[in-house]
Structure 1
Amino acid sequence: MGKSLTAIRQEIRENKWTGPTAGLATGYTQANLVILPKAQAYDFLLFCQRNPKPCPLLEVTDAGSPVPKLTAPGADLRYDVPKYRIYRHGELVEEVTDLQSYWQDDFVSFLIGCSFTFEHALMDNGLKIRHIEEERNVPMYITNIACEPAGVFHGNMVVSMRPFQAQNVVRAVEVTSRFPSVHGSPVHIGQPKQIGIEDVSKPDFGDAVTVKDGETPVFWACGVTPQSIAMSSKPELMITHAPGCMFITDMKDSQYSVL
């Protein structure tokens, strides 16, 4: 029997778990995290509204509050993510396991839907998830697909990839289409070079996974997109989760299914 959500969150808070969260807390919705000073929060909110595929919003916190009141009222976003990234002027300057020394009273936090949510539904439909099988982080790539700019924010979409046998691709599309608030259906199927990916064995984030003969790479919009946006837009400060190291909410995956 797996560990409870409470036990997993405690391990993360105590820095006993600092790696990817795929496969953890089965059934509970995981979220990408973006933290910005209030001065940039409106522009980023607008960016998310204009780009709902890569940035489907689950919650926005009150300025200065680390507590996600709607999705995990007992949690603290300063401590409950396994690993955070600190971006300054578009440069990744540090990875840390808590935000105690970084937190500011004007911070606004954004929780963005994560494709880990629909992975359980895929597995329930008999589809195997390669990065979980291989105990790796999901592979993620910066594409040539431009996001709709908003205020100071602009840049290209990041996608995550999962390979499937050709006869299972349609089923994967059907299953994930039921989860529009956590990226929904794929944005691209096959032919990685068409979206600017030269080599699927060399992801920009996460780990490479095996793509077997006869398998088709399937690409979903990814909540790591804001990290690509940070590199393009170069805001003075943006804090995110480290790719694959998600915030686990109190919400159930089934609550985000439209069917």
Structure 2
Amino acid sequence: MNKTALITGASSGIGAEFARRLAATGHDLVLVARTEHKLKAMADELTARHRIRAEVVSQDLSAPDAADRVAGELTARGLTIDLLVNNAGFGTAGRFAQIAPGREHDELMVNIVALVDLTHALLPGMLARGSGAVVNIGSTAGFTISPYFATYAASKTFVLNFGLALWSELRGTGVKVLTVAPGPVETPFFDVVGSKEAAIGAKMSTPEEVVTAALRALERDRGYVVPGRGNLAMAHLMPRRPRKLLAVIGRRVTRRVADALTPVAQ
């Protein structure tokens, strides 16, 4: 029997690449995102190409009961999840006081609350079976302090610390936990943020590179992985500086992002 992977944010970018790679290795899939037509097209394509089962769950993960609704669909369809990929997420950028509060609320619901709630919903079954894995997609932003990305970076700090804590807690249970912390990636992320300036001039990785690094690290149970040598150096060196200094440096580096963005109406 094929193992089944549930992937959030599966309609594009890193999530779509996870779906393609896992389908190619024989995983059945549950694809979760808001854009149902994109998910159905992907499910049909992967089913035809790899002869796997691909289910679609259309769900806005910013809803307070999003994880309960997804879990209910799994139960109704008789699906057991062996691999959870918490990929869904988005960012906001600009001057905090000018960003619409509702947008940042939804950001935290998707980046943190849905991630934790889905892990709560699916982890007990994995532990009972003595096998399974959870992959959380974080960011190198989670390693430092990022003015003008205040909420986004803080949400990814949560993802990093949450994931590493679970990795340590669950060692010896047969369940793996991996946090993936890529730098800028060629995905629709920057379209959502509202400015390509958000890449801060860094070389972008591809979704293929990120997923390759993630699957390799998951196999080795590494706990976390930072794809790309430059990103890895930044992640390891920056946290060793005084935190106030990081905040000052971060402001100088990222201020042009705020200057490039049109203020968001309240």
Task: Report if TM-score (shorter chain) is over 0.5.
Answer: no
Structure with more of its chain in strand, by fraction: 1
Which one has a bigger Cα radius of gyration? 2
TM range (shorter): under 0.3
Kindly indicate which of the two structures has a greater share of residues assigned to helix. Answer: 2
Name the TM-score, length of structure 1 as normaliser.
0.28
